[in-house]
């Protein structure tokens, strides 16, 4: 009955078009009243939820990504990717995927990836004879890599939702291979399409121009080197690396690229503050929501339920994947991480699954949710940028989803992809 009150009230509030963050907070208060917990205790948990030093990494990462996204980085990364793969048949589609890989290592946001890379690549692909809906779909699916390749602020949220017991640095390095698997599956699909439908080839870039293009692109990729290199070398923490990344991104954008106007800078900061405010509000309400769930012993009850269904961890992972894929279609990523992690993490740990491995499974699942209707945020942005209806994009999305599900299966059932790099940090 406790679970029904908490989750039932949550979905009732959502049905009345109340934003998810507020719905979580109100549902937590309803459940607190149900189990006779003072509202003051719930309010204290909300404040405690955002009173963590590690959360400073989120606004810094968001700001660094926003600076690079609007400072001409997307265009330069596309040009850099074109040097390496543009001359292959279907090269522009490969450039799209590779540029998303590199841009994801800077922005950490699939929405920013889609809007930035899509603005550059979709019109260019259409001009060269690619179907518009194909250009949109390869853009949105390629942008999911940003969820996995560091610096992903969703991994910071996952670490928080897990009680801070999982190292952000370990999560960052764990995302490399799953991200490359996702990108590799899309590249394989593009090559199949290219030879089946005779996509055009590009021209090789002259050596002198190629060298200049790569050097310009490497300035942007330096953000990732600073973040990961600093963390892995023990020079600074994830939060400190995010702050240094902001300074570096600002200097590169304003003094090296010089494509962004100083008078527009306050608008960028304003948009970043709005984004961070929404994320922090969501975290605050989710902390209270998780506190009520713990008092109601919901994680323990869910663990017991799964143990009655199966004792095979591979079957369990299949069930969890199906559940997360369905939930990803109806809710956004950040609230699902905050809600599902406290519930499912004790279950998978009971079955001997590493929390870092489970984090990658969750990221891939919910990343796929970003491109599936009815609430796929990345799908909406991609269709708006590419001027394609959501219905048309969805009708042609199945091959791309199949490629991504292959990557999900490998991440789920081959833990090595998620755990090998973090294991090196523990030596």
The secondary structure of the chain, three-state, reads CHHHHHHHHHHHHHHCCCCHHHHHHHHHHHHHHHCCCCHHHHHHHHHHHHCCHHHHHHHHHHHHHHHHHHCCHHHHHHHHHHHHHCCCECHHHHHHHHHHHHHHHHHCCHHHHHHHHHHHHHHHHHHCCCCHHHHHHHHHHHCCHHHHCCCCHHHHHHHHHCCCCCCHHHHHHHCHHHHHHHHHHHHHHHHHHHHHHCCCECCCCCHHHHHHHHHHHHHHHHHHHHHHHHHHCCCCCHHHHHHHHHHHHHHHHHHHHCCCCHHHHHHHHHHHHHHHHHHHHHHHHHHHHHHHHHHCCHHHHHHHHHHHHCCCHHHHHHHHHHHHHHHHHHCCHHHHHHHHHHHHHHHHHHCCCCHHHHHHHHHHHHHHHCCCCCCCHHHHHHHHHHCCCHHHHHHCCHHHHHHHHHHHHHHHHCCHHHHHHHHHHCC
Q: Which residue has the higher pLDDT, 69 or 341?
A: 341
pLDDT at 320: 93
The residue count for the chain: 427
Q: What is the average pLDDT across 139-152?
A: 90
65 Rama class: left (phi>0) / alpha (psi -120 to 50) / beta: alpha
* In the predicted structure, residue 157 carries a pLDDT above the cut 80: yes
What is the mean predicted confidence (pLDDT) over 272-291?
A: 84
34: pLDDT confidence band, cut at 50, 70 and 90?
Answer: confident
**How far apart (Å, rounded) are the C-alpha atoms in residues 174 and 196?**
35
Q: Which residues contact 426 (CB under 8 A, 6 or more apart)?
A: none
Query: How far is residue 324 from each of residues 13, 286, 336, 406, measured CA to CA in Å?
Result: 21, 18, 9, 16
Nearest partner of 371 among 317, 414, 408, judged by Cα:
408
- Report the percentage of the chain scoring pLDDT > 90: 27
Q: What band does 354 get if pLDDT is binned at 50, 70 and 90? A: very high
For residue 265, pLDDT over 70 is answered with yes
For the chain, what is the mean pLDDT? 86
Which of the two residues, 294 and 189, has the higher pLDDT score?
189
Residue 352's pLDDT band (cuts 50, 70, 90): very high
The better pLDDT of the pair 312, 7 is held by 312
User: Bigger pLDDT: 351 or 35?
Assistant: 351
The least confident of 70-74, 290-294, 321-325, 403-407 is 70-74
* Whether pLDDT at 186 is above 90: yes
pLDDT surpassing 80 at residue 219:
yes
Residue 89 backbone dihedrals phi, psi, to 5 degrees: -60, 130
Q: For residue 27, which of 256, 289, 254, 236 has the smallest C-alpha distance?
A: 289
Lowest mean pLDDT: which of 22-26, 126-130, 305-309?
A: 305-309
Rg (CA), the chain: 22
Residue 427 has pLDDT above 60, yes or no: no
Cβ 61 vs Cβ 52: under 8 Å = no
Residue 18 confidence (pLDDT): 84
Residue 426 has pLDDT above 70, yes or no: no
Q: So what's the pLDDT on residue 307?
A: 78
Q: Is the peptide bond before 74 cis (omega within 30 degrees of 0)?
A: no
Among 142, 123, 152, 136, smallest CA distance to 85 is for 142
Lowest mean pLDDT among 46-55, 110-119, 156-165, 210-219: 46-55
Of the candidates 44, 124, 284, 91, the residue with the CA atom closest to the CA atom of residue 195: 91
What predicted TM-score, i.e. pTM, was given to this entire model?
Answer: 0.87
Residue of higher predicted confidence among 176 and 239: 176
pLDDT for the residue numbered 331: 79
CA 364, CA 155: separation in Å to the nearest integer?
12
What are the structure tokens assigned to 88, written together?
């292959």
Q: How confident is the model at residue 131 (pLDDT cuts 50, 70, 90)?
A: very high
At 234, list the tokens: 């023990």
For 370-397, how does the pLDDT look when each residue is reduced to its tens digit (9 = 90+)? 998 877 889 988 999 898 998 899 999 9
* C-beta separation of 111 from 381 below 8 A: yes
Under the banding of pLDDT at 50, 70 and 90, the label for residue 51 is confident
State residue 184's pLDDT score. Answer: 94
């Amino acid at each position: 009955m406790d679970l029904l009150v908490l989750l039932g009230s949550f979905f009732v509030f959502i049905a009345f078009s109340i934003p998810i963050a507020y719905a979580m907070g109100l549902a937590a208060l309803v459940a607190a009243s149900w189990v006779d917990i003072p509202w003051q205790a719930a309010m204290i948990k909300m404040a405690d939820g955002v009173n963590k030093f590690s959360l400073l990494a989120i606004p810094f990462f968001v700001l660094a990504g926003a600076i690079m996204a609007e400072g001409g980085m997307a265009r330069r990364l596309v040009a850099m990717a074109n040097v390496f793969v543009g001359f292959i048949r279907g090269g522009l589609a490969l450039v799209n995927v590779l540029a998303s890989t590199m841009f994801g290592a800077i922005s950490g946001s699939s929405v920013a990836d889609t809007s930035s890379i899509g603005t550059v690549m979709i019109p260019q692909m259409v001009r060269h004879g690619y179907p518009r809906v194909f250009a949109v779909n390869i853009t949105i699916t390629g942008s999911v890599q940003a969820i996995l390749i560091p610096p992903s602020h969703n991994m910071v949220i996952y670490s928080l939702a897990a009680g801070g017991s999982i190292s952000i640095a370990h999560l960052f390095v764990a995302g490399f291979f799953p991200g490359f698997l996702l990108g590799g599956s899309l590249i394989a699909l593009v090559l199949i399409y290219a030879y089946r439908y005779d996509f055009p080839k590009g021209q090789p870039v002259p050596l002198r121009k190629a060298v200049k293009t790569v050097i310009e692109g490497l300035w942007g990729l330096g953000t990732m080197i600073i973040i990961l290199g600093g963390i892995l070398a023990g020079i600074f923490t994830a939060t400190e690396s995010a702050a240094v990344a902001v300074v570096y991104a600002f200097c590169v954008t304003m003094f090296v690229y010089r494509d962004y106007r100083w008078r527009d800078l306050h608008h960028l900061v304003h948009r970043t503050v709005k984004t961070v405010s929404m994320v922090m509000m969501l975290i605050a309400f989710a902390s209270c929501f998780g506190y009520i769930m713990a008092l109601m012993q919901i994680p323990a009850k869910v663990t017991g339920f799964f143990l009655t269904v199966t004792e095979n961890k591979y079957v369990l992972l299949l069930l969890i994947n199906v559940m997360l894929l369905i939930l990803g279609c109806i809710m956004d990523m950040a609230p699902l991480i905050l809600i599902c992690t406290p519930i499912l993490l004790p279950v998978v740990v009971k079955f001997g699954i590493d929390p870092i491995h489970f984090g990658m499974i969750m990221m891939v699942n919910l990343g796929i949710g970003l491109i599936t209707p009815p609430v796929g945020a990345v799908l909406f942005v991609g269709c708006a940028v590419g001027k394609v209806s959501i219905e048309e994009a969805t009708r042609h999305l199945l091959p791309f989803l199949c490629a991504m599900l292959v990557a999900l299966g490998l991440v789920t059932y081959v833990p090595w992809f998620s755990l090998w790099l973090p294991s090196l940090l523990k030596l």
